[in-house]
Structure 1
Amino acid sequence: MANQSLFASLTAKVWPRADTANQSGAPAYAYGPEAKLAHLAATGTLADGFYSGAESQLADVLAAAQAVSPEFVAKAAVYARTFGAMKDMPALLAAYLTVADPDLAVPVFRRVIDNGRILRSFVQIMRSGQVGRSSLGTRPKRLVKEWLEQASMPRLMAAATGTSPSLADVVKMVHPAPADAERRAFYGWLIGKPYDVAALPQEIAAFEAWKREPKGELPPVPFEWLTAFPLSGEQWAVLASRMGWQALRMNLNTLARNGAFSVKGVTEAVAARLADAETIARVRPLPYQLMVALGQAGDGVPLAVQAALESALETSLALVPALEGRIVVCPDVSGSMGSPVTGYRKGASSQVRCIDVAALVAAAVLRRNSKARVIPFEQQVVALDLDPHARVAVNAARLAGIGGGGTNVSAPLALLNRERAKVDMVVIVSDNQSWVDPSRYGATATMAEWSKLKARNPGAKLICIDIQPYGTTQAQDGKGIMNVGGFTDAVFDAMARFAKGETRDWVSIVNQTEV
C-alpha cells in the first residue's frame, strides 16, 4: 500500500497540524498566550495536578501574563474573580500588575481584592518575590492600607480569621490610620499592643468577657473564633443559625458531631435554610459543591437535611442555561480524571474529582435538555444509559462510578461519525491529555474526526471544557470550536453564549470583561 502520509486525501491535508505535545507526550495544539492565560485564570489553583506541579503552573501563569498586554491580564483577573469565583489566581494577577502596569493595578486591586482572605493572599504573593518584588512597595502598600481603612468592622473581624499572613501581620506592615477610638482600640487588640478597653467594638468586648468565662450567650463574632472552645450542643445550635449559607453547607458533619441536631428545631431550621430558593439564587452555589456536600454528609446528618441539600442541588440547576437542539455531551471518565479538581494540596486536597465535575456537567445538560445524548469515554466509548428524569445526583454518581483507563478524546467523535449522526453541538469535558488516539496526517485524531463530523453537519459546534489547565488542547480554536476553561457556573454561561453565536471563543468572553 502507498505511503498514507505522502498520499493523504486533499481533505486530510487541510487539517491543522499539531504544533506541540501534551503532558503525556502525545500530539496536541498549544493555546495562544491570551487563550492560555484565560484558561489558567479561570481554572488554575496553583496546586499540584495529575500531570504537573504547582511550580510549573505558577511559571506558566507568569509566562502567559508576560506574553500578553497588561490590559488582558487585568480583564482575566477580574473575570476570574467576578465570574469564576477564583481566589488565588486573581490575587496573583493583581500582584503581577503592580510591576507590569502599576496604574492599571489600582482598579484591578479594587475589583478583585474583595475580602480579607484574598487580601492576605495578595500580601503573601507580593512578599514572596514571585512577581518581581519581595515587598509591598509604595502603591500596593497604599492600596492595602486603603482597604483596611475603608472596611467595615464586621469585614475586618471576618478578615481576622486565618494566618500566613494573619490580619495582624498585615496591619503591622501597612500601619492603617485609625479613623476613631474604636478602630484604634481594635488595631491595638489585634496586634497585641495596649488599647483602650472601653473603646473596643462591642462584639470584641463581649468576646473577651466570654473567654474569661465561656458560658451563657455566645458573643456575636465570627463562628470560627469560638470553635476552639468546648461548646455544648445548644451553643453549636446557635452557631448553626449564625453561619452563612456556604459555611452551613460545609459544616454539617461538624454540627452533627457536636450535637447541634439533637437540639429541638435545629434540624428543621437548617433544612429550611439550605433549601430556600431565594437564598440559593442570591448565593449561587456551584452545583458540584452541593453534590459533594451531599456525598460527604455523614450518618449523623439528619435525612431531612440531606434531602434539603439535594433540593438545593436541583434548584441550582434551574439557574443553568439550557442548550437547545441535538446536543451530545462526552464526559471523560479515564484514570487521570480521578484526581482532585483543584489539585493536590497536603492536608487540603479537594474531595471533588475531575470526573465528578465532568459527570455533573453531563447530568446538568441532560436535566435541562432531556433529548441530549451522553457518551462517556476513556480508551473507548463506554456504554451507559442515563435517565433524564432521575435525580441529578444519581446520574452524576453513575457516571463518576465508571472511572479508569487511558484517555481517547476522539473516541466519541469517531462513534458519531460511524453512526453518521446528526448533531448541533458536541461538548467534551476532559483534562485534554489524550494519548491513546494517534495523530492523523499531522493533525490530532480529535481534529480529524471533528472535521469529518463538521463536513456532514456544517452548523455543528464543538465545545471542549478543559477542567485542568495544562496549556494544550486536542481541538484547535477556530470557526465552530471553543476551548473553555473552568468548572464554575461561568462555564455554563459561556456554553450558552457560544451556542447562540454571541461569542466565538473563550478569549473574546474574557475580553468583554470591564475592568
Structure 2
Amino acid sequence: TQLDRVLELARQVDVDFLAQTALYARRKGFMKDMPALLCAVLATRDLDRLAEIFPQVIDNGKMLRNFVQILRSGVTGRKSLGSAPKRLVRQWLERANKRQLVNASIGNDPSLADVVKMVHPRPADAARQAFYAWLVGKPYDTAALPESLRAFEAWKLSKQGEVPDVPFQMLTALDLGEKEWSAIAEKASWQTTRMNLNTFARHGVFRDEAMVKRLAARLADPDQVRRAKVFPYQLLVAFLNADQSVPEKLREALQDAMETSIGNVPEIDGKVVICPDVSGSMQMAVTGYRKGATSRVRCIDVAALVAAAFLRKNREARVLPFEVNVVDIQLNPRDSVMTNATKLAKIGGGGTNCSAPLAKLNAEKATADLMVFVSDNESWADPRVNRGTAMMVEWEKLKVRNPNARLVCIDLVPNTTAQAPDRKDILNIGGFSDTVFDLIAAFAAGADGSDHWIREIERQPLNQHMKLA
C-alpha cells in the first residue's frame, strides 16, 4: 500500500531529512496526514528532533488529533504515546489559547476529550480547569468558562439573541429551525459560507431573497476573497459540490470569486502550452477512493482548472487537451475560468498518450518556451522505446528548435514512475494544491528542475542537534 511504501522510505532516510520532510509537507505543502505520520515515525527514532519540530508541524487541534491517532494505531511500531510524546501533547494543550482549544474540540477518533484523558494536562488556572471539565463531561464552573462557551451554553437553551462565536460545527449539531440557520448564515465567515451552501439550502436559508443577495455579495467581494486566502481549487470544489437547490446568484458569485483568486497564477514570458489529460482514467476522484470521503472532484476537473486558469492570465497560451490524440477544442481566453474549466472537463474518454501534444507541435514545427502537462501519467498508449518514453523522444525533438524550453509535469495521483525524469529543464510535481502555480512560476523563471524537491526539503531549518526531549 501507499502507507507501507511511505514507512519503508522513512526508514531509509536519516532523522534530519525525515524532520525536514515533515516541516516541508506541513508548512509548504499544507498537508495534514503525511506530516503527522512522519512525526509519529520520528517518535520511534529521535525524540529530540520530534520535540524540535512538533510545535511547527502539529500547529492546530486537527493535527494534534491526527498525530495521536496515528501513533496509537500501531502503524509506526508502537501503540502507546510514551512519556516524551505525552509531554509534547500536554505542552501543546498548555500553550494553546482559548480560541484554539474551542476549535480543537471539534472532531472525533480521537476527540480532544479523548486526548485530554490520555495525557492528563494540569490546568494552569480556573478557566482552563473549567474548559477541561466541560470538554470531558464533568461538572464545571460556568462563570470560569471562556466567554464564547458561556454564550454557547446559554444560546443552546434559548436560541435567542446573537449567535455565539463558536465553531460552525458546534452550532449545526443542535436542533435548529430556519430562523436559527438564517442567523448562523448571516454571521458566517467567508470560508464557512463557501463550505456550507448545500447545508444552508437544505435548511431553508435561501428562501429569503434578501439573504441570498447578501451572501452572494459576501462571496463575490474581492477584499473578502483575498482576506480568506481562498485557493482556486477550493472554489472549484465549492462550485462542483453545489447542488441544484443553491441559487444561481450564489453560483455566479463563486465564479466571480474564482477570478479574484487566480492572482497567484503566473504570467509567463514567451510561448506557453498547457496540456490537460482528458482521457478516461482522468474520471477518477482526485483524492482516490476513500470510503465515505471520496471527493466529487475528478482528476479531469483539476486538469481543466489548471488549463483554464493559465489561459485566463496568459491570453496567448495554447491549450492542447489530449487522450490518444490531441482533442480539437476552441477556448475563449476572455471566458471565465469556471466556464472554460467546465468545457474542458466535459470532453473525457479514450486512452492516454502523453506524447501526443509534443508530437503535434513537432509535426507543425512549432516552438514552446514552457509546457505544462496535467495528467495521471497512465500512458498505456505511449509505449517506451529504446531512448526512454515516447514523450521524452518528442521532447528532445522540440528542444532542438528551442534549447531553452522547459517542461512541467503535474502528476495528480501518487505514481512512483514518471513519463519525463527530473533534470534541469524538467520539473515533476506530484499531487496538486494551489502552491503549484508558485512552483511553476519559479521554474519558468529559471529554477533548476533536477533534485528540486530534495533541495527544497533540505532548506527547512533545523537546530544543531541537541537534547530537547
State the TM bucket, normalised to the shorter chain.
Answer: over 0.9
Task: Quote the residue 2:467 is aligned against.
Answer: none
Tell me how far apart the structure 1 counterparts of residues 271 and 18 of structure 2 sit (CA, whole Å). 36
Tell me how far apart the structure 1 counterparts of residues 389 and 106 of structure 2 sit (CA, whole Å). 49
Tell me how far apart the structure 2 counterparts of residues 262 and 129 of structure 1 sit (CA, whole Å). 50
Secondary structure of 2:388 counterpart: coil
Task: Quote the residue 1:506 is aligned against.
Answer: 453
Query: Offset at 1:442?
Result: 5.0
1:268 aligns with 2:216: no
Task: Quote the residue 1:199 is aligned against.
Answer: 144
Tell me how far apart the structure 2 counterparts of residues 313 and 450 of structure 1 sit (CA, whole Å). 33
Which moved further from structure 2: 445-454 or 257-266? 257-266
Q: Deviations over 1:29-58 (max 9, x none)?
A: xxxxxxxxxxxxxxxxxxxxxxxxxxx111
Task: Quote the residue 2:10 is aligned against.
Answer: 65
Which moved further from structure 2: 250-259 or 93-102? 93-102
Contact 1:233–1:263 (8 Å) recurs in 2? no
Q: Deviations over 1:419-461 (max 9, x none)?
A: 2211111111111121111111151111221122212221111
Question: Match for 1:337: what amino acid?
Answer: M
Identity across aligned pairs (percent)? 55
Alignment of structure 1 residues 36-435 onto 2, 5 Å: 56-215=1-160, 217-263=162-208, 265-435=210-380
Alignment of structure 1 residues 427-466 onto 2, 5 Å: 427-441=372-386, 443-466=388-411
Tell me how far apart the structure 1 counterparts of residues 262 and 108 of structure 2 sit (CA, whole Å). 35
Tell me how far apart the structure 2 counterparts of residues 204 and 358 of structure 1 sit (CA, whole Å). 43
Tell me how far apart the structure 2 counterparts of residues 138 and 230 of structure 1 sit (CA, whole Å). 41
Tell me how far apart the structure 2 counterparts of residues 506 and 412 of structure 1 sit (CA, whole Å). 26
Tell me how far apart the structure 1 counterparts of residues 187 and 76 of structure 2 sit (CA, whole Å). 39
Query: Offset at 1:213?
Result: 4.4
Secondary structure of 2:385 counterpart: coil
Tell me how far apart the structure 1 counterparts of residues 187 and 265 of structure 2 sit (CA, whole Å). 29
Greater RCO (Cα-Cα under 8 Å, separation 6 or more): 1
In the alignment, which of 433, 440, 447 is matched to residue 488 of structure 1? 433
Contact 1:483–1:506 (8 Å) recurs in 2? no
Q: Deviations over 1:91-144 (max 9, x none)?
A: 112222222332222232211212111111111001111122211122211111
Which moved further from structure 2: 481-490 or 116-125? 481-490
Query: Offset at 1:416?
Result: 1.5
Question: Match for 1:206: what amino acid?
Answer: A
Which moved further from structure 2: 354-363 or 216-225? 216-225
Contact 2:278–2:322 (8 Å) recurs in 1? yes
Tell me how far apart the structure 1 counterparts of residues 317 and 156 of structure 2 sit (CA, whole Å). 58
Query: Offset at 1:214?
Result: 4.2
Unpaired segments of 5 or more residues in structure 1?
Answer: 1-55
Query: Offset at 1:215?
Result: 4.8
Secondary structure of 2:301 counterpart: helix
Contact 1:359–1:399 (8 Å) recurs in 2? yes
Query: Offset at 1:65?
Result: 2.1
Question: Match for 2:384: what amino acid?
Answer: S
Contact 2:194–2:219 (8 Å) recurs in 1? yes
Secondary structure of 1:325 counterpart: coil
Contact 2:155–2:163 (8 Å) recurs in 1? yes
Question: Match for 2:42: what amino acid?
Answer: L
Aligned residues: 460
Contact 2:326–2:357 (8 Å) recurs in 1? yes
Contact 1:409–1:432 (8 Å) recurs in 2? yes
Secondary structure of 1:463 counterpart: strand
Counterparts in 2 of 1:397 and 1:264: CA distance versus 1, 3 Å: closer
Contact 1:233–1:262 (8 Å) recurs in 2? no
Tell me how far apart the structure 2 counterparts of residues 438 and 249 of structure 1 sit (CA, whole Å). 44
Tell me how far apart the structure 2 counterparts of residues 221 and 308 of structure 1 sit (CA, whole Å). 26
TM-score calculated relative to the size of structure 1: 0.85
Which moved further from structure 2: 215-224 or 321-330? 215-224
TM-score calculated relative to the size of structure 2: 0.93
Tell me how far apart the structure 2 counterparts of residues 196 and 222 of structure 1 sit (CA, whole Å). 21
Contact 2:185–2:200 (8 Å) recurs in 1? yes
Unpaired segments of 5 or more residues in structure 2?
Answer: 463-469
